[in-house]
A and B are shown apart, each in its own frame.
Chain A
């Protein structure tokens, strides 16, 4: 079985051997990159700088809370606000693979800038097994291009370090618990963030809608789980569909957008089953969304598809 302590020992040794100069790490505040930052930070201390990029696609209150969390973690870090850059880059982009590739490339260019400022020769990423597996290559089909597997452009002098590449999320969590990291139990969140939870072009407006809906889904499910009404799912969120349908709100005809609620149970994200959320919880979520976002959304549906044939996220 996977032994977290042994893994940590071996990795620290390896990182000290391989990373002789300064390094920056791409830190999103998620489980993988935070565990990775703690691991590499333990190995090389002050020679590591964590870079958190606010892409404009983050969840409600996320940038502030990640900033505070990285402070508590004790890793040197910088918050980079690049939201204008990202929204510009995704103007008119609707195709999911294109979104992912553009976002991945933007990340790399920002890391390149920050690495130069810090004098780093190494770029550390918290890439894990499903990321490179699903990104394909050779015989393996590309299910989706993960943002952290785009590869470094040839003209870049950074060397890539990915200590967690062979691990799955459940193993990363074990490492996180061994290192006493507070976000070890946090739900997975994709690198492209809310940009891939809007089906279609991620504009400031559509991203604002899905940001609200995701916050409502997260809040209500967490309340229900804390009351013992249901098990906390592996991953739970909302997706904005470009489908409009007729409704009636306050005796007036409505023609609004649709939100799909998605929640799955899984161990390693490679296979998953849709969560059997109690109906009253689904109803609370549905009512809150359509009441609070009435001008935009008048219908809520629940995704009842396993993985395979679907993936957990929609894009």
Chain B
């Protein structure tokens, strides 16, 4: 018998728990807004793996209850161009939260539409492996290769950038794979940096965490 149910004392340790709590004070808090995506929980996992305090919150959460250093608007099932009312309070968060926001997939498309751009059904959908080409390294792709493998899962895409936004990357079948606002810390990614198969996904999340940290100091 490899374990003896009568000898379980070795698991009664509290010291590890105390050490963990004492380091939380210096940790960033970035919440994941759940828009019904398959990889929303992965977004939470990556943030947790990068030592960020994170929680998944419904997209109906009132703005006043949000205490965070940054927000990730997750991917989702809603076809944003057709049923944007399923995106809950994402519009309010973008307008009033005053912290850096990263929109992923549906989150990115919604951000574009909400701020005066356009999103529409893609001519060619992208599922799984795609090659993404960086047009502008900026702060999100700093130090990363010009071309990387990214994992997609979208039927729609951003077809027109909002005013004050620039495109940072594209793929053969999707012109706007990444975008950022030049006047506020708002970012959008069409692909999914949070899945295992996207190259340098963790690095991109770390870049966003650094942006949140800098914004916090300012």
Contacts and interface: CB of A to CB of B under 8 A. Distances in A.
A71 to B, nearest CB: 9
B196 A1 contact: no
A36 to B, nearest CB: 14
B158 to A, nearest CB: 20
Interface in A42-65: 42-46
B129 A306 contact: yes
Given A9-B16, A73-B2, A180-B2, A134 B128 contact: no
Contact of A273 (B4, B16, B35, B197): B197
A129 B196 CA distance: 15
A215 to B, nearest CB: 28
B195 A140 contact: no
A12 interface: yes
A72 B2 contact: yes
Contacts of A151: none
B17 to A, nearest CB: 7
Contacts of A42: 3, 5, 8, 11
Contacts of B40: 133, 140
A74 B5 contact: yes
A38 B3 CA distance: 8
Interface string B140-156: 00000000000101000
A266 B36 contact: no
Given A180-B2, A307-B128, A309-B127, A141 B36 contact: yes
* Chain A interface main SS type: mixed
A270 B195 contact: yes
B70 to A, nearest CB: 20
A83 interface: no
A46 B5 contact: yes
A270 B2 contact: no
Contacts of B11: 8-9, 12, 42
Contacts of B34: 139
A292 interface: no
Interface stretch (B41-49, B160-168, B169-177): B41-49
Interface in A15-52: 38, 41-46
Sorted nearest first, the 5 A-B pairs with minimum C-beta distance are A139-B36, A45-B5, A74-B1, A309-B127, A306-B128
Interface of A: 1-2, 5-6, 8-10, 12, 38, 41-46, 72-74, 129, 133-134, 138-141, 143, 166, 168, 179-181, 266-268, 270-273, 306-309
Given A42-B3, A73-B1, A271-B195, 17 more contacts: A5-B16, A9-B17, A38-B3, A44-B5, A73-B3, A74-B2, A129-B41, A134-B38, A138-B36, A139-B34, A141-B38, A181-B2, A272-B197, A306-B127, A306-B129, A307-B128, A308-B151
